[in-house]
Copies of this chain bind each other. A is one copy, B any other.
Amino acid sequence: MEKQTIEPRTYGDECDGCTGPERIEVMRFQRAIRAITGKWKIEIVCSLVAGPMRFGELRRALPGITQHMLTEQLRDLARNGIVIRTAYPEVPPRVEYALSQAGIDLMPTFGALHDWALRYQDRLAD
């Protein structure tokens, strides 16, 4: 039996030279995903939902994280405009991290993905 080309493949066909609009959208999407992947990023964002927190406060809220990791992940989140870093030139130094509007607006999408995970958690490996 022959397989008679189930459906026109608009996605693949338009991407011979990587110029189709779909590909560009996928790339943007990937960038968004990359902005929130990282072992602690989601936990950090979820912690900050309740309000701004200081560096050490976050560290205590995330048992197991190293200073290095926290610094790195926060820097990354700030670089992507998801959290806002505010350093107060006091001594001892005080640095506060808060969600930006982008960070706050991220939560509904988290909610959607969480609902999905809840529905299909039994088939999710690991």
Contact = CB atoms under 8 A, between A and B. Distances in A.
**Number of this chain's copies in the complex:** 2
A18 B62 CA distance: 10
B26 A43 contact: yes
Contact of A60 (B12, B34, B57, B106): B12
A52 B124 contact: no
Given A9-B50, A116-B105, A31 B61 contact: no
Nearest to A113: B109
Contacts of A3: 54, 94
27 contacts: A3-B54, A9-B53, A11-B50, A12-B60, A12-B61, A13-B61, A15-B61, A15-B63, A16-B63, A26-B46, A28-B118, A29-B110, A29-B113, A29-B117, A30-B42, A31-B121, A31-B124, A31-B126, A32-B113, A33-B42, A35-B124, A80-B125, A81-B124, A102-B120, A105-B119, A109-B112, A109-B113
